[in-house]
Structure 1
Amino acid sequence: MFSLVRDFGFQILAVSSVAFVSLVSGRSEILSLDYLPPAHAAQVDDLMPGARVIDGGIRFLEIEAGEGPSICEGDKVEAIYTGKLLDGTVFNRKAGQFHTYRFEVGADPREVIMGWELSLPLMQKGGRYSIAIPSQFAYREKGRSGQVPPFSTVIFEIEILNVE
């Protein structure tokens, strides 16, 4: 779930099929929003059975456990990955010894999409993961280079090769 922490001096309770918001007087509460549209969620559930829902409605599935500490801000990560649309169309791939992707977690400007940033703390070196990312945390209304339509949920299969 997408998390925001705020202090408010009043109470609000709202429930819908997409969002749950709870603010309690005088305390900080976590606000969670699931940005994955219900139709996309049904497809993702079929493609990734057993995936858990994390921040923003991102679906996270550990395929193979990694070892060592979890990835954190400032870490330099080397990974291979495949990015796909919900229909299975591959739109990006970095795979193989000479085609890895290297980036710094939490860099400014960001070197990976927000969906990766929110998922990386659940990953470890040597692990393999599948994540389904709502458009809000991927390529939003612009899409990506004619390969990802606007407002698309995308799925990444990621293997973490190294963390420094």
Structure 2
Amino acid sequence: MSVTTVPIHPIKKGSLTKIWLAVFLVAAAALLLAYTGTRNVVVNGASNEQFLAANADEDGVETTASGLQYKVIKPGEGASPTATDTALVKYEGRLRDGTIFDANEQTPMPVGGVVPGFSEALQLMQKGGEYRIWIPSELAYGEASPGPELPANSLLIFDVTLLDFISAAQMQELQRQMQAEGLPGGPPPAP
């Protein structure tokens, strides 16, 4: 009985390292592709709750007890407004798909007279601060739709800059001055 021998040539030095490096690169590319695809589904196709859960894990995003999420883009200085104050803000509001539904370069608004999530966010800010806020639908308009640009149960995303704010007493004084000068902005004079 005869045994045929087949010579096995030795592997060149460094070939095994190259094979393992190639396997690692393929696995890393697959993981990156899977993450990118999953992230896209979470951003565009997930429910608001799933989106907020994924968003909460992003760097710098804070979540309050009410469920409001915010990220400080630029911190402000000084005190924060209260619910009775009037804030002067710059903002841009958009939906999850990126559709801008409202924007203003400079508008006064009563801190306690806006949707609860926006009011809560304003009370966290200081003058000069820039925040990105994510308002869950239950802290915004909920099942009610204020107009065709905002579907019911919309999660709202705002970029907000708190330019300034004044107290309710200062606002009343301004209104009295405007009324005394005959300018619009105050209640009509009593007969």
Q: TM-score, normalised by structure 1?
A: 0.67
* Cα deviation 1:16-40 (Å, max 9, x = unaligned): xxxxxxxxxxxxxxxxxxxx94322
Offset of residue 42 of structure 1: 4.3
Matches within 5 A, 1:26-45: 37-42=48-53, 44-45=55-56
Structure (1 or 2) with the greater strand fraction: 1
Q: Distance in 2 between matches of 1:71 and 1:141?
A: 29
Matches within 5 A, 1:16-95: 37-42=48-53, 44-45=55-56, 49-95=59-105
Structure (1 or 2) with the greater helix fraction: 2
Structure 2 residues without counterparts, runs of 5 or longer: 1-46, 167-191
Higher RCO structure (Cα 8 Å, ≥6 apart): 1
User: What letter is aligned with 1:128?
Assistant: E
Offset of residue 116 of structure 1: 1.1
Larger radius of gyration: 2
Structure 1 residues without counterparts, runs of 5 or longer: 1-35
Q: Is the 8 A contact 1:44 1:86 kept in 2?
A: no
Q: Please, what is the CA RMSD of the aligned residues?
A: 1.9
Q: Residue 150 of structure 1 aligns with which residue? A: 152
Q: Residue 109 of structure 2 aligns with which residue? A: 103
Q: TM-score, normalised by structure 2?
A: 0.58
Q: Distance in 2 between matches of 1:44 and 1:144?
A: 26
Runs of 4+ in structure 1 off by over 4 angstroms are none
Residues 55, 118 of structure 1: alpha-carbon distance in 2 compared, 3 angstrom cutoff = farther
